[in-house]
Structure 1
């Protein structure tokens, strides 16, 4: 995710994945609950989002069917089918789901009872499900595009339809799921909409069926994906096709009336992909493209294979071209950092946003003459303030109640990119570039932790870097910058007068 200031599986799973799931589940009571016990919300023990995700199973695939009624203010009819592998004996199964009406639930083809607890849908199958078994859950429900009270994310209502923005914890406002990035899965989307609309989703097209005034589009991913990265676009759109490096299919989704105005920006994508491949290796997915939404969100979002952008970032002359292009690179870089290599927990967010910010800044340096050193020196000056407000990069403070997107603070953007700059200064450019390629290669299609990155950095550089990373990732104060002893943190700002402080806070609000 990038805030911008404009206008506002198969059965076989890796042992590494199984171990991480077990570690997360150890923080909570695994769902070995007698059917007579109280219904309670569960979670996988994430430090920042303790009730996200659910223990006891590992999702292999989602099959999501949505029927759009032609209005972005009416609920969609939906069916969610989940295939999962159990990792415990389950008398009940918890799913994350909080913004729709559930009509029925089946487990392995048999009707199951259900209730709600917090933001969990709690399912009680007729017979308990044993550890080490396949389980299929089918939920018939509605999916409400009207924003949930006091909640951000989920469906985004555009001028002509809908799109999704599920980061960090909003996929379960759209469909029942195990809504935590540690549990990646394959996805199939089936979207039915009235004539005159076009639907596009993550992955590649797997068929189009037209019948009785409506069309159903089917899309499938070829790589596992976290729920927060799911994307479905429904609107009066045009899909534009071009070819990227190595024959990569590139497709963009734009409001039909804006296709000519947006084309000069969209045609830059193949060269941008080639630029990123030159830095970190081959693009990791089956397709890429930009979804230009006619909506005001205040951010852009790295939904897997189809990044979400505000149309007006490109159509309103607010920012110079180099800046807009660098934001395109930010979301593109996320396809490697954050999507292909996902965070094991939300405290590992700095690995996503720090890297995307790093390549955004590197592109601006190489393509527009905007020195990385200047940006990092400015970030160094502000870093102590960012740490005080949001926590160190790898130990961010928990979001305020009702503001879960509040984890997206400067400490995990430029503050985290500053850590990468310091690392390059410490181990040298050649070792740093080997590390970047090794990171996205070793953990492709997986999740990884801060500790994994620290270990790999030590392996690649041949040095013990524990002390370096302890200060840069977890310290309350920013350590001295290697190679730049003259860099100093900026002095604390003087408290503003009450009226001015209020005005400043209002200007910064999303």
Structure 2
């Protein structure tokens, strides 16, 4: 690993002397101050594009990578940080010139040869290699995870920094081009659309994936393994969009029926949630032993074994809630999960299942078939308010999901169905491909409702314990 000492004032002085230019800028912050992950992300710049070239050997578990990051300085910048954990950094250039760099924990500190003035667009290239490792957070194992026949890289909330350097916080979204070279006989999958597949002189294939729409780093995906791939197109709105589905052969038979429902779910979602925000969609189904949770990776959710219909609806709803409209911080995760969970309730209501009111009522009472169907523990549901989880370890717990969905149902009760659907579709349109927080949401809802809704926000969104009345 290149340089593990902290980047001290003495280091900064030495690097400044080597640069041959007077320092006029200031160092960018090492972290954006997220309430739960304060060191994630970095200040001083905004990323527009990641160009990643990855070469992975499952036998040695070695990854060789090059990241070319295009960003704009948001201040006069003398040094800046990239999030990267593990791996050895071999070379860093900024605007084509060699740059000084240092490592401290998950921070890669870069000192360009020349300061970067505010507003300047610049490119930083990082060459790196090593054995990526997974991380364990409150939500479980994440990051670069080896599988029975390859690898699966998932990044919520922090894991993307295990396999590429970047501004690893949802508030900085960017476009991506990801090239993955895999062993012979294996397929490499990522977000967006497959633009090219080529075979090198050594017979190994390289898969080239393109994501033009902005994406948060935690939604970036790499899946390498043996997959049965199906490609087709379906009409959504005015466009025919490609579907790319990759299924581990051991899961193919049991997945076939439920995955065939994807086009119908997507058409229903467009009618209820608004225009689909991306240029393609699909799925990756791996073995249950490879990962123990589904994730809404952009355009291609990942499933641990064959998903059931409810999970399929939930992860596809995230393409609107979370992937297109992305939280400003991890404290706002209920906006992702509460809205995606409520979409499950709407799907049930429209497909001869329990109505959303039935589900809401049974959850509140703590009895009924909805608790088993949606795996709800009525005791833990009221442990904390959905908008203010007490720590990072519980941002994926039940109050964020199901109590968050109850907030959405209370809004529907307050405004009526016609205005409710106008609010949901207007929300996904106004904040399409951008970031929003809880205050943005409550202000938007009240504006469209034309009335104060503190009677909802107080007890249901921010209040401790079970509200007195359903």
- TM-score surpassing 0.5? yes
What secondary structure, in the 3-state scheme, does the structure 1 residue paired with 2:12 have?
coil
User: Residues of 1 paired with 2:228 and 2:402: CA distance?
Assistant: 35
What corresponds to 1:97 in structure 2? 84
CA contact (8 A) 1:159 1:295 kept: no
How far 1:388 sits from its partner (Å)? 5.8
In the TM superposition, residue 148 of structure 1 has moved relative to its aligned partner by: 4.6
Match of 2:193 among 197, 204, 208: 204
Asked whether the 8 Å contact 2:29–2:44 carries over to 1, the reply is: no
Match of 1:441 in 2: 429
Query: Which residue number corresponds to residue 370 of structure 2?
Result: none
Q: Is the 8 A contact 1:90 1:129 kept in 2?
A: yes
Matched, 1:428 2:421: no
Given the alignment of the two structures, is residue 244 of structure 1 paired with residue 234 of structure 2, yes or no? yes
Residue matched to 1:367: 351
Q: Does 1:231 align with 2:224?
A: no
* CA deviation map 1:119-172 (0-9, x unaligned): 211112222222111121111112534435788311232221112210011111
- Which stretches in structure 1 are left out of the alignment for 5+ residues? 1-31, 315-323, 401-405, 482-486, 488-510
Decide whether aligned partners of structure 1 residues 34 and 444 sit closer, same or farther in structure 2, where only a CA change above 3 A counts: farther
The 1-side partners of 2:313 and 2:255 are apart by: 16
Task: Give distance in 2, aligned partners of 1:40 and 1:286.
Answer: 34
Would the alpha carbon gap of residues 96 and 185 (structure 1) be closer, same or farther in structure 2, given more than 3 Å must change? Answer: same
- Worse overlay, 46-55 or 356-365: 356-365
Per-residue Cα deviation, 1:2-41 (whole angstroms, up to 9, x for no partner): xxxxxxxxxxxxxxxxxxxxxxxxxxxxxx9992399998
Partner of 1:6: none
Instruction: Map Cα deviations across residues 296-355 of structure 1 (whole Å, 9 max, x no partner).
Output: 3221000000100012x45xxxxxxxxx10110000000000001100111111110001
Query: Displacement, 1:365?
Result: 3.0
Q: Following TM superposition, where does structure 1 have runs of at least 4 consecutive aligned residues deviating by more than 6 angstroms?
A: 37-41
Q: How does 1:160-199 map to 2 (within 5 A)?
A: 160-199=149-188
**2:311 corresponds to 1:336:** no
Judged with a 3 Å threshold, the aligned counterparts in structure 2 of structure 1 residues 465 and 261 are, in CA distance, closer, same or farther, namely: closer
- Distance in 1 separating the partners of 2:447 and 2:392: 34
SS at match of 1:424: helix
Q: Which residue of 2 aligns with 1:64?
A: 52
Q: 2:251, 2:286 within 8 Å by CA — same for their partners in 1?
A: no
* Matched positions, count: 434
Structure 2 Cα separation of the partners of residues 148 and 397 of structure 1 = 21
Q: TM-score scaled by structure 2?
A: 0.87
Aligned residue in 2 for 1:144? 131
Deviations 1:187-210 (A, max 9, x none): 000001122011121011121111
Choose which of 144, 164, 171 in structure 2 pairs with 1:155.
144
Partner of 1:28: none
Distance 1:174 1:309 in 2: 21
Q: For residues 276-287 of structure 1, what are the structure 2 equivalents within 5 Å?
A: 276-287=269-280
Asked if residue 415 in structure 1 is aligned to residue 379 in structure 2, the reply is no
How many Å separate the matches in 2 of 1:388 and 1:281?
31
1:110 is matched with which residue: 65, 76, 97? 97
Correspondence for 1:269 among 262, 279, 282: 262
CA contact (8 A) 2:382 2:466 kept: no
SS of the counterpart of 1:206? strand
SS for the counterpart of 2:357 is: helix
**Contact 2:28 2:79 (C-alpha < 8 Å) held by counterparts:** no
Structure 2 unaligned blocks of 5 or more = 1-8, 16-26, 367-376
> Quick one: structure 1 residues 443 and 40, their matched pair in 2 at CA, closer, same or farther if it must change by over 3 Å?
closer
Moved more, 141-150 or 131-140: 141-150
